[in-house]
Structure 1
Amino acid sequence: MRPPLRAVAMLAATAALVTACNAGDDWSQPHPAPSAIGTLGPGFVDPSTKPAPEATITPQPGSWAGVHPPKDYRVVLLTAGDDKPTTSLVAAVKDWADDEDVALRTITVGTAKDAVPSIVKAMEMGPDLIVTAGNDLIDALAMVTPNHLDEKFLVVGAELAEPTHNVTAVDWSGASFRGEGLGMSSTYDAGSFTAERCAAAIRAGVAAVLNDLTGIVVWLDQPPRG
C-alpha cells in the first residue's frame, strides 16, 4: 500500500500548507516509542476497568494535569477551516506544543477535496500522533482511519460516529459534531470553544492517548451526560 500512499501524498503537497515549529527536526531518524511522563490523577478513569471501545469517559477536571509527553514528541496538527472554534483549537494545540517541548508540524487543509490527501500526507510524515481540528475533517477521517490502524489520531472539539481503536476524541456538549450526514448537534455552541476549554481538550486527549486509553471519547462536561 505504501507506493500509492506516497503518490497521493505528493498531490497533497500542493493542497496543504506544512509548517514546523522546529524546521531542523529530522523525523526520518530512529525514534523510541513514546511513553507518558507522570501519571493520571484520581477521577480520570476507573483504574480497575479499561473503557470499552467507543465508550465515553468524563474525567474530573485537572485529573490529566500530571501527564506530559516525552521531549520531542512528534505531532502533526491537521487543521481545516478559519472559523473561531477551529482557530481557538489550533492556538491551544500550538501553545501546548510550546509548553511541552513537542516537535509540532502543521498541515492546513485548503478545501474539502484536499482532506483525504492531507491526512495521507500527515501519516507519511511519521508522527507519534496526528491531532485534528476542524469539523471539515471528520468525514475524511471516518474514511481513512479504519484502514490505518497503526496510526494514532486525536480529534479535538468533535468526534467520529464510529471510531476505531486508533481514534480518540475530546468533546463536550457545545461541540460534538460527528459528520456522516448527522448534521450539527442541537447543543452546538461556538462560544463554548474558550481558550480554557481548548487547552483542556488537547491536554486531556494526549493524556488519554499516552496511557493507551484510545478509541474512546473524553467528555469534558461536568456533571457526566446521561
Structure 2
Amino acid sequence: MRPPLRAVAALATAAALLAGCGSGDDWSGPHPAPSAVGALGPGFVDPSASPTPEATITPRPGSWNGVHPSKGYRVVLLTAGDDDPTKALVTAVKDWADAEDVALKTVVAADAHDLVPAVTRALELHPDLIVSAGNDLVDPLAVVTASHLSQQFLVVGAELAEPTHNVTAVDWSGASFRGEGLGMSSTYDPGSFTAERCSAAVRAGVAAVLNNLTGIVIWLDQF
C-alpha cells in the first residue's frame, strides 16, 4: 500500500532540512583551532629574525607552497567592486578554497554605503580568516580592524597604511593601493593582476597567517 502523498511530501521536506544542516553548512558550532599543515620553505622569512610589525618581506617564490590549512578552516571572502583586478582576486580565493577544501562564505558589499556594513557582516560570521578583495574596502577595513584584534584579516592586492597586528597584506608594485586619501599608486597596473600572481598572493598570505606571521606586508614583485 502506498503512503499518502502528504506523508511522502513531509518525509521529503524533513530529508531536505537534514541535508541542509550538515556540518559543512553550519558555522554555529565549535571547531578545532586552525593550524598549518606542512611547513614554510627556505626563503620565506629570515630564520634568524622574525619580521617586525608593519615590515615588508619578499619571500622566495613558491616557499609557501608546502603550507595548507587544517581541516575545517573557515574563511570569509569579503569583496567589493566588479573591476577586472577584483574579479581576478575573487577567482583566486575561490579556486584556492576549492583546492584546499576550505569552508568558504562570501560577503559582497552592494555599494559605497554598504562597505562598512559588509565588513560587519563578515565579522558576525566569526571565521578563522577574512580575506579582502577590492580597493574600495581598504578604508573601511582601516576603520574596523583595530577594534577587532582577535580576528585575522588578509588583504590581497592592496594594503592598509597603518595595519594592526591582525591585518596581513600581500601586495606588489602594480597594486599597492593604501587608501586614506593617498590615491592610486603611480605604478598601478591592472594587468599585473594575473591569475598566477593572484593565486600566489592568496597562498602566500594564508601561509603567513597560519604561521603567525601577521601584521606584515608580503611583497610579490617576482612574478
- Mark yes or no: TM-score above 0.5: yes
Match of 2:4 in 1: none
Q: How many residues align?
A: 202
Match of 1:93 in 2: 93
The alpha-carbon deviation at position 121 of structure 1 amounts to: 0.8
* Secondary structure of residue in 1 paired with 2:197: helix
Which whole-Å CA distance do the structure 2 matches of 1:23 and 1:71 have between them?
12
Residues 65-214 of structure 1: matches in 2 within 5 Å? 65-214=65-214
* Secondary structure of residue in 2 paired with 1:41: coil
2:32 and 2:72 in contact (8 A); partners too = no
Which whole-Å CA distance do the structure 1 matches of 2:117 and 2:108 have between them?
12
The alpha-carbon deviation at position 222 of structure 1 amounts to: 3.1
Q: Which runs of 4+ in 1 moved over 6 A?
A: none
Residues 11-26 of structure 1: matches in 2 within 5 Å? 24-26=24-26
- CA RMSD, 1 decimal: 1.3
* Secondary structure of residue in 2 paired with 1:27: coil
Q: TM-score, normalised by structure 1?
A: 0.87
| Percentage identity across paired residues of the two chains | 77
Change in 2 beyond 3 A, CA 1:108/1:23: farther
Which whole-Å CA distance do the structure 1 matches of 2:133 and 2:195 have between them?
14
The alpha-carbon deviation at position 183 of structure 1 amounts to: 0.2
Consecutive unaligned residues of structure 2, counting only runs of 5 or more, are: 1-21
* Larger RCO (alpha carbons 8 Å, 6+ apart): 1
Which whole-Å CA distance do the structure 2 matches of 1:56 and 1:170 have between them?
9
Consecutive unaligned residues of structure 1, counting only runs of 5 or more, are: 1-21
Larger radius of gyration, structure 1 or 2? Answer: 2
Q: TM-score, normalised by structure 2?
A: 0.88
The alpha-carbon deviation at position 39 of structure 1 amounts to: 0.1
2:159 and 2:178 in contact (8 A); partners too = yes
Match of 1:46 in 2: 46
1:67 maps to amino acid: V
Cα distance per residue 1:183-221 (max 9 Å; x no partner): 000000000000000000000000000000000000011
2:97 maps to amino acid: A
